[in-house]
């Protein structure tokens, strides 16, 4: 090792998920939306004024925060915008989780929570999901430095009743509670309705799933203005200009396209219902899905082998080689046509 290498930060080498680019592939592995962004997004790109790019973007991302505030019936100072919900969540960890006590999040959940906690040296504990992959709310009633959980949860797709979500918040009014609602538009009830009641609640959502804009990197947090100001203060303190002008412009148009948004959600939910039936007929079992994916296993088929067999057909789903979930596949809801190709293969595969 050369001397200058001694001070290089040690991290667990991580390989980003497969993003293969094949023409006929069926990509059901990263919970992307199978439908294009709203037509208004295309029009915005066509008329985007590139001359303005010579100027720095608005660091407060006001145009986009305003549009989101209007959409969700909030004030503009209740919305924080970031480069994907990963950026927003990491910023929230840095801003709100500065206690000596451990923060709490489920053992089976979004994998980056522990990564950000490690990065910022935040102690944490991970209460186990129950046998049916449900979050046990009572596990979150003990003393802690903050709470975060996704609703619906990933990779299970299970939603928690809003009453249970509120119970967790009600039992944790001395810390910040973050509800990560990346998939809420596909099912479950949002905690947004609780914002007026709990000042310590932060709700995080994203454009990557329901708004078909994973490629644009836009996430946002909603909460009382003290929380939002704290997020902005921390952001401004070390990197003021993160949202580029195209994100602000195209993102704003996406928020305004409400009818298109509802149409896409409706189509994906309908395909999810069809997919559930078809999977059940094939003998798969799965927790009741509320997100744009189904977390399924087949009692008669090894998950990893099935995953590999699908890949050979250029059908990509997600497999997690981790305790308790290594016999499951996470299958993103694609178009009806894509799902039919998947099911036709599964049928042949299971008959072998």
- Distance in angstroms (rounded) separating the CA atoms of residues 200 and 194: 10
Minimum distance from CB of 200 to its own copies (Å)? 4
CA 191 to chain centre: 15
Minimum distance from CB of 58 to its own copies (Å)? 6
Cα torsion 269, 86, 139, 169: sign: negative
Nearer to its own copies, 236 or 305 (CB): 236
């602000």: which residue's tokens?
A: 248
Minimum distance from CB of 343 to its own copies (Å)? 22
Nearer to its own copies, 5 or 321 (CB): 5
Q: 292 exposed, middle or buried (CB, 10 Å; 0-12, 13-18, 19+)?
A: buried
Nearer to its own copies, 60 or 279 (CB): 60
Nearer to its own copies, 142 or 241 (CB): 241
Nearer to its own copies, 41 or 301 (CB): 41
Nearer to its own copies, 242 or 327 (CB): 242
Minimum distance from CB of 4 to its own copies (Å)? 4
Give Cα separations from 85 to 47, 102, 112, 209, 311 (angstroms).
27, 22, 11, 11, 28
Minimum distance from CB of 46 to its own copies (Å)? 6
Minimum distance from CB of 142 to its own copies (Å)? 16
């Amino acid at each position: 090792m050369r001397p200058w290498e001694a001070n290089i930060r040690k991290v667990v080498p991580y390989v980003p998920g497969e993003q293969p680019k094949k023409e006929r592939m069926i990509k059901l592995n990263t919970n992307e939306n199978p439908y294009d962004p709203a037509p208004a997004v295309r029009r915005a790109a066509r008329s985007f004024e590139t001359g303005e790019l010579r100027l720095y973007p608005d660091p407060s991302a006001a145009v986009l925060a305003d549009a989101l505030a209007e959409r969700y019936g909030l004030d503009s100072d209740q919305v924080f915008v970031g480069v994907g919900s990963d950026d927003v969540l990491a910023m929230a960890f840095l801003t709100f989780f500065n206690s000596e006590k451990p923060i709490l999040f489920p053992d089976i959940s979004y994998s980056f929570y522990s990564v950000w906690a490690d990065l910022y040296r935040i102690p944490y504990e991970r209460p186990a999901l129950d046998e049916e992959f449900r979050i046990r709310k009572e596990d979150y009633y003990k003393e802690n430095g903050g709470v975060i959980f996704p609703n619906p949860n990933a990779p299970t797709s299970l939603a928690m009743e809003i009453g249970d979500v509120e119970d967790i918040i009600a039992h944790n009014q001395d810390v910040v509670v973050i509800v990560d609602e990346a998939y809420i538009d596909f099912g479950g009830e949002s905690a947004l309705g609780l914002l007026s009641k709990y000042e310590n609640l932060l709700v995080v959502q994203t454009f990557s799933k329901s708004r078909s804009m994973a490629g644009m990197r836009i996430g946002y947090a909603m909460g009382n203005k003290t929380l939002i100001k704290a997020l902005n203060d921390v952001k401004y303190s070390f990197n003021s200009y993160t949202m580029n002008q195209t994100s602000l412009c195209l993102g704003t148009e996406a928020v305004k396209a409400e009818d298109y948004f509802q149409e896409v959600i409706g189509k994906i939910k309908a395909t999810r219902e069809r997919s559930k039936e078809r999977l059940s007929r094939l003998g798969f079992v799965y927790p009741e899905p509320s997100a744009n994916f189904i977390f399924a296993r087949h009692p008669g088929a090894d998950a990893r082998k099935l995953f590999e067999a699908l890949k050979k057909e250029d059908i990509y789903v997600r497999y997690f080689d981790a305790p308790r979930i290594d016999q499951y596949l996470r299958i993103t809801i694609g178009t009806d046509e894509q799902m039919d190709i998947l099911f036709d293969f599964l049928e042949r595969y299971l008959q072998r």
